Copies of this chain bind each other. A is one copy, B any other.
Amino acid sequence: MFTHETRKRVRYGETDRMGLLYYGNYAQYYEIGRVEMIRSLGLTYKDIEDKLGVLMPVVTLYSRFIKPAYYDEDLRIKTTISEFPVRTIVFHTEILRANGELINKGEVKLVFVTAENFKRVDTPVEIRNKLKPWFEKVD
């Protein structure tokens, strides 16, 4: 299991008429969570695309909205990979208030495709190698 945390403040343009973070904007928060998690491993999403020639399209997205997020809150984005990625990679995200209250849970599954022709490939070895130390009994 590998867990990473970053923060993001709710911006005016992200709120809606209810005065809350618009439901469609959580996907951006999940993106920030997984991109910063990958960066913390010593890789970047950008290099995966530009240097490895591999894109990571999302195949499923699931969100549960537990509590509203208010304007200007400094939210915690906690991202977890709980299964070692082979054919797909799943990022679990918890969004919490500064005080630890859980307000949203997300699950995003991505696959790997070649930038050249969008053919499915396995998780690049560069990503596997970075994640291996965090998973037991993975060879």
Residues of A within 8 A of B (CB): 11-13, 15-20, 22-25, 27-28, 31-32, 35, 44-46, 49, 55, 57-65, 68, 71-72
Given A46-B71, A57-B68, A61-B63, 15 new contacts (CB under 8 A): A11-B31, A11-B35, A12-B17, A13-B25, A13-B31, A15-B16, A17-B17, A17-B71, A23-B27, A24-B31, A27-B27, A35-B72, A59-B64, A60-B65, A61-B62
Q: Is the CB of A60 within 8 A of B60?
A: no
Given A64-B59, A72-B46, A12 and B31 contact (CB-CB distance below 8 Å): yes
The quantity of this chain's copies bound in the complex is: 4
Closest residue on chain B to residue A34 by CB atoms: B12
Closest residue on chain B to residue A36 by CB atoms: B9
Q: Is the CB of B57 within 8 A of A65?
A: yes
A44 to B57, CA, bound (A): 27
Question: Which residues of B have CB within 8 Å of A71?
Answer: 17, 46
